[in-house]
Chains A and B, each alone.
Chain A
Amino acid sequence: MKKILCADDDPGLQDVFPLICGRAGYEVTMLSNGENLLENNFELPDLFLLDKQLSGVDGVEICRFLKSQDATKDIPVIIVSASPNLDDQAKQAGADDFLEKPFRMSFLLDLLKKYLPEKLNPST
């Protein structure tokens, strides 16, 4: 099963990501802040899903950091944000893609399918 590491500090969304991605057959680990990521304190996932506005740290900066580390530079990063104009910024930091809030569930799942090509069938 593909593992997703998701960082979002909004309590309203902390259940949503595991719920949606879990239903689609992915294993999700939720982090509420980005510090662990900067301290290399996590199990390597198959994909990073980062909110841009994490308390205290900018998701784009975390992305830049992850892409600069040998261990994580090849792992796809998707940045999620409420601001629509972050496309360029995200791409410049090395993000593989960008998801604008509020998003359709299907958009997120399409992105996951794109960057995690082998997916197990969803459990219903």
Chain B
Amino acid sequence: MAGSNSIAQHGQNPLSIAGVGALQTITDLVPDLLWNNDIQGKILWFNKRWIEYTGDNLNKERDQLAFKGWQTIIHPDDFVAINEKWALSLGNDRILETQLRLRRADGVYRWHIARSVPMMDTLGQIVCWFGSATDIDDLKTTEQALSRSEERLRIALQSAEMIAWDWNVLLDELSWSENSSSFIDKKGSEKTSALLNRYVVSEDRQTLADSLDKAIKEAGVFQAEFRAIAGEKSENRWYYVYGRTVSRQNGQASRMAGVLYNITNRKLLEHQKDDFFSIASHELKTPVTSIKAYTEVLSEMAVDSYPQGAVLIDKLNKQVDRLSDLINNLLDTTKIYEGLLNLNPEHFDINELIEERAEDLQLLTSKHTIVLQLEKGIPPVFADKERIRQVLTNLISNAIKYSPGGGDILIRSEREGNELKVSVEDSGIGIPDELKTKVFDRFFRVKNPRVHSFPGMGLGLYITAGIVQQHGGRILVGNKEDRGSLIYFTLPLEG
């Protein structure tokens, strides 16, 4: 090659000191494939990496090495395109750059970026080409995987009608994934405060801003529901937003990312359900009211004039009461399940309520004795009195029901720190260990081999648990050494 003379002219260049030997060392050091070919494409020279990669013949001296031919090295799918590009480039002196797959010695094709630079003589004619190929296979595979992954994400977001957002907190730059214009229409970056004010209804802005601030300060997670006016027709919509801290600075969130989606349909459904409850409630209870009224009047009428009838009417009346309770229970269950139970709390004395219930329920049984152990001086509890009455009624009547052989039913009340604890204990059939948490499930019913079945829809304890939990209390099956069951619940006490 004529190169060494021109290299010598460069003076301080280290190559000029070491010469051709150094050049060879460098070319063998480089991890890329290097080669030199004539204008017919015949390889004149290649570097060590070329030999290692393609597995070309190693036994001969480099300048005698037989070249297998481009066709064996380049992937058949890429060969045609390369040839075309090559043919086009022969007429000019531009760098030829292309991506192609080269065959490794073991037969595996890997992506490379190949570059060819022409060398010209003093007349401007191309004498030969120098080429290099850099392995970009890992990069390419990653790119393809990323592309597929992004495609999947886009499809997922689109089908869930969600958008993914990314927020640089420090610079207050918010960006989000492309999406259909079914919600926030503007694409691109926009300041968050501007966004909030543009879309979110005024009543929800403060709460949203507050929860966002909290999440930033604690570098945590944030989620919120809010209403916004959005869409082409400026509709009222409900949105749910979720985000988490992706990176922190000085203990606070510096970048957050999450999703936003339209929950308007869900909210409408909830309102429909709410409406359904009040309508169903009214519709079912109204005929029951009439029936009850007539039975009570009949009862009064029959007492003096038709005593046999009076007995039957009395039974009728009890069944009407039972029907009424069942309807109430069913509606309560659905409300609890949907989280729609409304409470009307007031201050009242728990012991008074327990005494009242005990007195009433004692009348229902002669086989059992209700015993009270109530701690004096418990401060008034702030709770829905009617609902707690319901809880006590359920627990005590269960105690009666599940101790068919009779016995004592012990009701205790005590104060434990900030909590009120009330327990109801019987000496009946008991609750096996494995069922201790299941008894509070909706529709759970006892299967006792000794008795065919206990009446009831299995809703009582579910409702009781729902009421207690709604008050912020707990309800549990306690441990008992002897036979029977112990169930207790707690309610928070103020102060």
Quick one: which of B260-296 are within 8 Å of A by CB? Answer: 278, 281-282, 285-290, 292-294, 296
Chain B residues within an 8 Å CB radius of A85: 342, 344
Task: Tell yes or no: B363 within 8 A of A by CB.
Answer: no
Question: Are A12 and B292 in contact (CB-based, < 8 A)?
Answer: no
Across the interface, B296 reaches (CB within 8 A) one of A82, A84, A101, A104, namely A104
Question: Are B344 and A20 in contact (CB-based, < 8 A)?
Answer: no
B300 shortest CB reach to chain A, Å: 7
**A16 touching B344 in the complex, CB below 8 Å, given contacts A82-B282, A83-B278:** no
Task: Tell yes or no: A105 within 8 A of B by CB.
Answer: yes
Chain B residues within an 8 Å CB radius of A83: 278, 281-282
Chain B residues within an 8 Å CB radius of A84: 386
Interface range on chain A: under 10, 10 to 19, 20 to 34, or 35 or more? 20 to 34
Chain A residues within an 8 Å CB radius of B293: 13, 16, 19-20, 105
Interface string of A104-119 (1 = CB under 8 A from B): 1110000000000000
B393 shortest CB reach to chain A, Å: 16
Task: Tell yes or no: A88 within 8 A of B by CB.
Answer: yes
Q: Which residue of A lies closest to B293 (CB)?
A: A16
Chain A residues within an 8 Å CB radius of B288: 101-102
Task: Tell yes or no: B324 within 8 A of A by CB.
Answer: yes
Chain A residues within an 8 Å CB radius of B296: 20, 104-106
Across the interface, B294 reaches (CB within 8 A) one of A16, A82, A87, namely A16
- Provide the bound-state CA to CA distance between A88 and B384, in Å: 13
- Provide the bound-state CA to CA distance between A11 and B290, in Å: 9
Chain A residues within an 8 Å CB radius of B281: 82-83
Task: Tell yes or no: B297 within 8 A of A by CB.
Answer: yes
Chain A residues within an 8 Å CB radius of B285: 82, 101-102
Question: Are A88 and B297 in contact (CB-based, < 8 A)?
Answer: no
Interface range on chain B: under 10, 10 to 19, 20 to 34, or 35 or more? 20 to 34
Among B278, B286, B300, residue most surrounded by chain A Cβ atoms (within 10 Å): B286
**A104 touching B292 in the complex, CB below 8 Å, given contacts A19-B297, A23-B300, A85-B344:** yes
Chain B residues within an 8 Å CB radius of A13: 286, 289-290, 293
Interface string of B375-404 (1 = CB under 8 A from A): 000000000001000000000000000000
**A12 touching B297 in the complex, CB below 8 Å, given contacts A82-B281, A83-B278, A104-B292:** no
Task: Tell yes or no: A33 within 8 A of B by CB.
Answer: no
- Provide the bound-state CA to CA distance between A88 and B342, in Å: 13
Chain A residues within an 8 Å CB radius of B292: 102-105
Interface string of A79-109 (1 = CB under 8 A from B): 0011111011000000000000111111000
Q: Which residue of A lies closest to B386 (CB)?
A: A84
Interface string of A8-46 (1 = CB under 8 A from B): 001011001001100100000000000000000000000
- Provide the bound-state CA to CA distance between A83 and B281, in Å: 7
- Provide the bound-state CA to CA distance between A10 and B289, in Å: 11
Q: Which residue of A lies closest to B328 (CB)?
A: A84
Interface string of B315-341 (1 = CB under 8 A from A): 000001000100000000000000000
Question: Are A82 and B386 in contact (CB-based, < 8 A)?
Answer: no
B409 shortest CB reach to chain A, Å: 26
Interface string of A53-65 (1 = CB under 8 A from B): 1000000000000
Question: Are A102 and B324 in contact (CB-based, < 8 A)?
Answer: yes
**A101 touching B297 in the complex, CB below 8 Å, given contacts A84-B386, A87-B344:** no
Chain A residues within an 8 Å CB radius of B294: 16, 19
Chain B residues within an 8 Å CB radius of A106: 296
Question: Are A16 and B278 in contact (CB-based, < 8 A)?
Answer: no
Question: Are B297 and A82 in contact (CB-based, < 8 A)?
Answer: no
- Provide the bound-state CA to CA distance between A16 and B291, in Å: 9
Q: Which residue of B lies closest to A122 (CB)?
A: B300
Interface string of B299-318 (1 = CB under 8 A from A): 01000000000000000000
Across the interface, B286 reaches (CB within 8 A) one of A10, A20, A23, A87, namely A10
Binding site for B on A (CB under 8 A): 10, 12-13, 16, 19-20, 23, 53, 81-85, 87-88, 101-106
With A87-B344, A104-B296 already in contact, 11 other A-B pairs whose C-beta atoms are closer than 8 Å: A10-B290, A12-B290, A13-B289, A19-B293, A20-B293, A20-B296, A102-B288, A102-B292, A102-B324, A105-B292, A105-B293
> Would you give 6 A-B contacts (Cβ < 8 Å), ordered by A?
A13-B286, A16-B293, A16-B294, A83-B281, A105-B292, A106-B296
